[in-house]
Amino acid sequence: MKIKTFLVKDLTPQQQSDMMSIYSLMEVVSLEQYPGFAQASEPEIPVLYLLAYRQDKLIGYACVKIKKSVLATVSFGPLVRDADDYEEVCAATVNACTYKGVLMMKIFPPFSSVKNTPIQLPFAKLKSEQSDEDFNWASLLLPLDRPMEEIFSGFSENHKRSIRKAQKINLSTAEITTEEEINLFAEQYTKMYKIRELPVDLDEAKLSFQRLFTFFKEQKTGIFLAVKSDKGGMIGGLCISYQGNAAFYHKGYSHPDFRQLPINHLAFYDAINLAKAKGLKYFDFGGYGLNLSPEDQVNGINRFKDGFGGHLVTYPQTLTIYTTPISKLMHSIYQKFRK
């Protein structure tokens, strides 16, 4: 039976409730498809919601970000009740955005459907392209369905030794509960990135973390975790969201003045403990770099994450859809001059 679709800016309470009923079905899901998250994390980017109905029942939806009125992105969506509807809801999303004048779409598919089977690509109904040069997502998932002692035993010897050292010298973790602590988190986070000569802006970092802090508090979808020295001062931290049956690592840092201490080892260990205590099934380490050059700094981050065990999950490739022939030409010219 044919579906009916609507592309809306504002949601009614009933629409939001219907969307959350689908979101809550997902085993592995992203906050990018949680109603309201996109506005909290990136309020400068307009967001529309694609709602797909069959016989007045919501069967799927997508949170769609639209940049400069020409590029629309769907991150880890659309979400559907039944995997068999995924392709049709994708096509409906593209059609609705095309009608709005969007020239190009990027769809980052979710890992699995409610049937817990990988999304099969490409689709017959979508004239899409896939490329290894696109942003293609992979991450490490650590199952939490074992006793914590067994999970700990699966860590690398270096990680186990570092965690024991952190505990021995009385490093500790605590949930951040005040805006003042969030600002300090942002200041230290920015300092670390500047020392690494990576682009970062303190004011933007403060605003971003404050918005996430407020969203987590209101929706009960995550925490900021501070690492403290034996004297009680903050020297590191993590931003962790709770989405579906997983805890997801967003961002984190260790204070550059204390780089000799095993700050991140303890931070992740305690974050994994918290996720298990909440009854979550996975800890998601928030991305894993693929096809890297030997000098890329991400190699070191990959090795650190590898030390906690877990298995690599590679998501379906990004779908790129050009809504008109001219939009593809314009994008190729842009990419040429960008290099």
Contact indicator for 77, 62 with CB cutoff of 8 Å: yes
pLDDT digits (tens, 9 = 90+) for 46-70: 899 999 999 989 999 999 999 877 8
Residue 113 has pLDDT above 90, yes or no: no
Contact indicator for 114, 81 with CB cutoff of 8 Å: yes
pLDDT digits (tens, 9 = 90+) for 125-169: 556 666 666 667 889 999 999 999 999 999 999 999 999 999 999
pLDDT digits (tens, 9 = 90+) for 235-266: 999 999 999 899 999 999 999 999 899 999 99
Angle in degrees, CA 57, 59, 65, rounded to 5:
120
Predicted confidence at residue 2, as pLDDT, reads 83
What CATH superfamily classification does 4-135+316-338 receive? Gcn5-related N-acetyltransferase (GNAT) (3.40.630.30)
Contact indicator for 83, 92 with CB cutoff of 8 Å: no
pLDDT classification of 116: cutoffs 50, 70, 90? very low
User: Where do the structural domains in the chain lie, given as residue ranges?
Assistant: 4-135+316-338, 140-314
Angle in degrees, CA 218, 219, 223, rounded to 5:
85
pLDDT digits (tens, 9 = 90+) for 18-52: 999 999 988 888 999 999 998 888 888 889 999 99
Fold identical between 4-135+316-338 and 140-314?
Answer: yes
330 vs 34, more confident: 34
What CATH superfamily classification does 140-314 receive? Gcn5-related N-acetyltransferase (GNAT) (3.40.630.30)
Contact indicator for 266, 274 with CB cutoff of 8 Å: no
Predicted confidence at residue 68, as pLDDT, reads 76
Among 295, 301, 250, 290, smallest CA distance to 271 is for: 250
Predicted confidence at residue 45, as pLDDT, reads 87
**pLDDT averaged over the chain?**
87
311-314 sheet: strands from edge to edge: 172-175, 222-228, 234-243, 246-254, 282-284, 138-143, 311-314
Helix axes 157-168, 263-277, angle to 10 degrees: 90
Predicted confidence at residue 115, as pLDDT, reads 40
